[in-house]
């Protein structure tokens, strides 16, 4: 009897549990469906309607939770909706002012993109999320399944994000009234620029790296960004213990649990890492994809090619014919800067085995300890030489990655374009600062032009392609080829390039406050390393002796040990977490809810690494062999005179007079406070953005004149140099901090009547080429890059013959 009764009770409990789970599942489906419907509705709303709807819902929720008694939860919910109402009402007019002039900064009416538009779009995304969440709360606040803690934490996080976005909008207004008409970059004096940046970097950023991580990007990207952020903060812990490679990857699998379940902790730690760790940390983190195991997994999902060979070009000078007079030649010297002559590594990728690619001369250049993939048994039939050749320069902030990191999408390019591709493994900063990378890329480009037959190409059409820092090198290599008088490539495809390496703020660069892939402090450290600033060397001497392959072998041997230690650390972290929760003396009063994201960030102690004073740049000796001032002379010099600041009169960022007048009217509409020059007058009275609790940011203000060198910042090149560029195709991201680099560079070329196209993809982050296989949106963006390259490689149609006279 008791057994039967127990069975019935168990069945009843099971049925009740299944009913609850079914109800929760239906609730989640309704929530997702409602969110999609709300997002579609919000997308069609204008800014004022969206703000009014949000304020109405906030007031309704305030009235409801204010009537729920004196409880802590109701008080915090009421307070967060009061904050939402205040920030939305303050933000709407400022966004309206930016929208009224944003069109003046577009390249053309067909390309509506610039940093002002991106800021407005990002703020709309945040308002849209708060509007959807406010509707959800208003509809479900009486339900017994309403998750009060989760919704409160999310509302507080997005309120913090909205507050910081409002600060960014006010900074954008400051840029609008301070810059020259039509200029997107901050052009104040150096003291004002430094004050602006120091003020900007004190803003709190952790709210953008926790629950709000990647809210501005397409939803398919957000899980990837969350994984990256968890891996980054876990990697940071192991980096402090001088662990590298596979040992970090193994241990991070176990120690990342607490960061995955605590978004506020993850955001605060992410902010600390981005502000305080040096360029060596980012080099190590970005180079994780260079590990053989990870790169092999990535290549398994990429196209299969016949040829993938790492070649080592000997540091031997050779002659190149001049374009103006092929009977004359110019000597192409090997790279010399900083470390003296040395070989240049390139990777040859070809979908088919073409004539010349299996020659003895090319085989003698194969790097012995490099990856080699060449199918010769059974001997395949050789394809004829392609008419085209693609020369690729990889990204990585000038400090990290090699062609191996970019090999998966390069293999797809080789298949789709039917052309061999060489990717240059140029030397990286800070060990090899400017102009070493430029020298090596130019040397490899000239070698490829001269020996294209060995690479499986006739060289009739040559395209330079690169992303981020590689896009910068595309422009500078082409400028140097023109200066030497040798063949200039037939075109350039640059994806989200960096064309301005000065510390000048711009509307799009304000987005670096929330960008998890390009924080401003990280950008400054990479540029500082590339310019040759002194950096602290935290690397272990034993690691230097081992080298990359030695580290991989050592880390592989330590893998099993790290799994055991990592599992123990993972278990201990959860035990410690539960132990802290059980200690009553750890907090003076018990809180029924999790603290807000701002409170969690402010409570984080300062990191153990301490802070260093800002480092000053030192100018290196960057002279090359030869000395000439005339473009017809084959030798070229990067002397101190060349590296000096460009003449301001040669750089014209101005819009046509009618646009300048329209913008002037908009500037006059701003209040006297907005037109003031002081940085302290940026915010209106009563508004106080949240400040970072991580202490002074280690962000060098790389103000050395070297960053004005046109071979480092091609946007600052004089008109005479830019006129020598071939047709340029730029693919940029609307939400990329580097967007304004692309817009302004394309505008300068357009004003010089140079052929240029600018395609701007929506809702994707910087670096989407390395994410090409992640989702539909990244695949489409990568296909757009391929189409731009195909335009370069396709010979122009011959003009139709004139009709014969009758």
Q: Which of 65-74, 145-154, 290-299, 412-421 has the lowest mean pLDDT?
A: 290-299
**Packed helices 279-286 and 520-531: angle between N→C axes, nearest 10 degrees:** 100
370: left (phi over 0), alpha (psi -120 to 50) or beta: beta
Look at the chain and count its residues.
806
Q: Report the distance separating Cα 332 and Cα 484, nearest Å.
A: 9
- The H or E element containing residue 662 is helix 657-668
Cβ atoms of residues 706 and 532 within 8 Å: yes
Cβ atoms of residues 507 and 184 within 8 Å: yes
Q: Which of 113-117, 315-319, 401-405, 620-624 has the lowest mean pLDDT?
A: 620-624
Q: Which residue has the higher pLDDT, 21 or 406?
A: 406
Instruction: Detail the DSSP E strand segments found in 648-774.
Output: 728-733, 756-761
Burial state string for 448-464 with b = 16 or more CB within 10 A and e = fewer than 16 = bbbbbbbbbbebebbbb
DSSP track, 309-332? EEEEE-S--EEEE-SS-TTSEEEE
Task: Provide the annotated active-site residues.
Answer: 468
User: 549-571: per-residue pLDDT in tens?
Assistant: 444 444 444 443 444 444 444 44
- pTM for this model (two decimals): 0.80
Cβ atoms of residues 258 and 574 within 8 Å: yes
Q: Which of 81-90, 471-480, 612-621 has the lowest mean pLDDT?
A: 612-621
> What is the biggest distance separating any 2 CA atoms in the chain, rounded to whole angstroms?
114
User: 253-289: per-residue pLDDT in tens?
Assistant: 445 567 778 888 888 888 888 888 888 888 888 887 7
Which CA distances in Å does 429 have to 199, 396, 525? 28, 10, 11
Judge residue 538's burial from the number of C-beta atoms within 10 Å of its C-beta, 0-12 exposed, 13-18 middle, 19 or more buried. middle
**Packed helices 245-255 and 541-557: angle between N→C axes, nearest 10 degrees:** 60
Judge residue 548's burial from the number of C-beta atoms within 10 Å of its C-beta, 0-12 exposed, 13-18 middle, 19 or more buried. middle
pLDDT over 80 at 499, yes or no: yes
Judge residue 610's burial from the number of C-beta atoms within 10 Å of its C-beta, 0-12 exposed, 13-18 middle, 19 or more buried. exposed
- Confidence bin at 231 (pLDDT 50/70/90): confident
pLDDT over 60 at 24, yes or no: no
pLDDT over 80 at 165, yes or no: yes
- Confidence bin at 656 (pLDDT 50/70/90): very low
According to CATH, the superfamily of the domain at 288-368+381-497+507-533+705-793 is: Alpha/Beta hydrolase fold, catalytic domain (3.40.50.1820)
Tally of CA atoms within 13 A in the half-sphere of 189 that contains its CB: 4
User: 726-784: per-residue pLDDT in tens?
Assistant: 999 999 999 999 999 999 999 999 999 999 999 999 999 999 998 888 889 999 999 99
* For residues 383-403, average pLDDT: 95
Q: Where in the chain is the domain with CATH 3.40.50.1820?
A: 288-368+381-497+507-533+705-793
């Amino acid at each position: 009897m008791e057994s039967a009764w127990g069975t019935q009770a168990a069945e009843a409990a099971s049925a009740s549990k299944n009913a609850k789970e079914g109800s929760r599942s239906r609730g989640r489906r309704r929530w997702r469906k409602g969110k999609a419907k709300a997002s579609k509705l919000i997308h069609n709303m204008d800014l004022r309607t969206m703000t009014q709807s949000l304020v109405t819902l906030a007031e309704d929720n305030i009235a409801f939770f204010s009537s729920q008694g004196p409880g802590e939860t109701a008080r915090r919910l009421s307070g967060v909706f009061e904050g939402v109402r205040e920030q939305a009402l303050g933000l709407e007019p400022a966004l309206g002012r930016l929208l009224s002039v944003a069109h003046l900064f577009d390249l053309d009416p067909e390309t509506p993109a610039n940093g002002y538009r991106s800021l407005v779009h990002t703020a709309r995304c945040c308002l849209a999320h708060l509007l959807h969440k406010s509707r959800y709360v208003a509809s479900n606040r009486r339900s017994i399944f309403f998750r009060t803690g989760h919704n409160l934490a999310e509302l507080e996080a997005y309120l913090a994000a909205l507050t910081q976005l409002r600060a960014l909008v006010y900074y954008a207004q400051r840029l609008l009234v301070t810059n020259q008409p039509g200029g997107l970059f901050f052009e104040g004096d150096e003291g004002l620029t430094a004050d602006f940046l120091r003020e900007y970097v004190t803003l709190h950023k952790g709210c953008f790296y926790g629950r709000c991580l990647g809210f501005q990007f397409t939803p398919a990207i957000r899980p990837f960004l969350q994984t990256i952020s968890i891996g980054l903060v876990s990697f940071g812990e192991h980096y402090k213990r001088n662990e590298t490679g596979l040992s970090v990857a193994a241990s991070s699998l176990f120690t990342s649990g607490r960061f995955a379940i605590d978004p506020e902790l993850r955001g605060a730690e992410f902010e600390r890492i981005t502000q305080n760790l040096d360029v060596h940390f980012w080099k190590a983190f970005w180079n994780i994809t260079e590990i053989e195991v990870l790169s092999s997994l990535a290549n398994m999902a990429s196209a299969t090619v016949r040829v993938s060979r790492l070649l080592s070009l000997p540091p031997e000078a050779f002659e190149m014919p001049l374009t103006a007079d092929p009977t004359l030649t110019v000597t192409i010297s090997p790279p010399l800067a900083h470390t003296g002559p040395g070989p240049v590594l390139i990777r040859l990728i070809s979908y088919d085995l073409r004539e010349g690619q299996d020659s003895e001369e090319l085989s003698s250049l194969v790097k012995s300890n490099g990856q080699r993939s060449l199918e010769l048994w059974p001997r395949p039939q050789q394809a004829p030489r392609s008419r085209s050749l693609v020369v690729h320069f990889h990204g990585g902030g000038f400090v990290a990655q090699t062609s191996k990191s970019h090999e998966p999408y390069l293999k797809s390019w080789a298949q789709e374009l039917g052309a061999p591709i060489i990717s240059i493994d140029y030397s990286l900063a800070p060990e090899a600062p400017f102009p070493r990378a430029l020298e090596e890329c130019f040397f490899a480009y000239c070698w490829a032009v001269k020996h294209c037959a060995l690479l499986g190409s006739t060289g009739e059409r040559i395209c330079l392609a690169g992303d981020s820092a590689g896009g910068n090198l595309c422009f500078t290599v082409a400028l140097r080829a023109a200066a030497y008088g040798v063949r200039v490539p037939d075109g350039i495809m640059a994806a989200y390039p960096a064309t301005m390496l000065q510390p000048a703020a711009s509307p799009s660069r304000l987005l670096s406050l929330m960008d998890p892939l390009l924080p401003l402090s990280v950008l400054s450290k990479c540029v500082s390393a590339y310019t040759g600033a002194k950096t602290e060397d935290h690397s272990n001497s034993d690691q230097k002796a081992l080298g990359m392959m030695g580290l991989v072998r050592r880390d592989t041997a330590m893998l099993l040990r790290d799994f055991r230690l990592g599992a123990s650390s993972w278990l201990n972290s959860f035990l410690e977490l539960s132990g802290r929760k059980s200690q009553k003396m750890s907090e003076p009063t018990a809180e029924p809810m999790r603290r807000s994201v701002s409170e969690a960030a402010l409570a984080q102690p300062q990191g153990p690494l301490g802070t260093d004073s800002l480092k000053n740049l030192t100018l290196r000796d960057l002279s090359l062999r030869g000395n000439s001032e005339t473009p017809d002379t084959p030798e070229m010099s990067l002397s101190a005179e060349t590296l000096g600041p460009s003449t301001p009169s040669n750089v014209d960022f101005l819009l046509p007079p009618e646009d300048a007048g329209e913008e002037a009217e908009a500037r006059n509409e701003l209040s006297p406070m907005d037109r003031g020059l002081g940085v302290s007058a940026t915010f209106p009275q009563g508004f106080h953005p949240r400040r970072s609790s991580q202490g002074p940011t280690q962000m060098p203000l790389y103000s050395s004149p070297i960053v004005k060198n046109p071979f480092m910042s091609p946007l600052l090149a004089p008109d005479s140099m830019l006129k020598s560029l071939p047709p340029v195709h730029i693919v940029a991201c609307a939400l990329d901090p580097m967007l304004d680099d692309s817009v302004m560079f394309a505008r300068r070329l357009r004003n010089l009547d140079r052929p240029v196209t600018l395609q701007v993809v929506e809702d994707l982050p910087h670096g989407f080429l390395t994410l090409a296989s992640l989702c539909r949106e990244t695949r489409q963006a990568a296909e757009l890059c391929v189409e731009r390259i195909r335009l370069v490689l396709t010979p122009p149609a011959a003009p139709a013959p004139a009709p014969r006279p009758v």
